[in-house]
Amino acid sequence: MVDDDSTERESAPRDLNQSQARLAYTIIESLLEHTRVVSDLIALMAQTLDEDTSKALTQTPVWTAYLDSRRALERTRQEVEQFTEIMKSLSED
C-alpha cells in the first residue's frame, strides 16, 4: 500500500534553487569535458594503430557502443545548452 503523502511527493516536480542548479551545471560540465578529453585520446590512439588493427577494432560491439554514446552525448550537449539558458535566466531574476 502506498501512502498518499509519498505518492504526492514522487509526482510533484522538484525545483532546484539557484545554488543547486549551479552545482548540477558544474557537475554536468565537468563530465562532458572529461568525455571530450577521453574521445580526443581515443581518436589519437586510433591514429597510431595500423590499418588491420583499426579495422578489427571498429568492427567490435565496443566500438559500436562508443559511437552510439558519442551520438547521445551530442544530444546531451544540446540539453546542457538549454540548461545554461535556464541558469542565465535564473541569475537575472
- Per-residue pLDDT tens over the stretch 16-74: 777 888 888 888 888 888 988 998 998 898 889 998 998 898 899 999 998 898 888 88
34 is in which domain, residue-wise?
Answer: 20-92
Number of domains in the chain: 1
| Helix%, strand%, coil% for the chain, nearest 5 | 85, 0, 15
Give domain status of residue 9, yes or no: no
Q: Note whether residue 83 is domain-resident.
A: yes
Rounded Cα distance, 29 and 87, in Å:
13
Question: pTM to 2 decimals?
Answer: 0.59
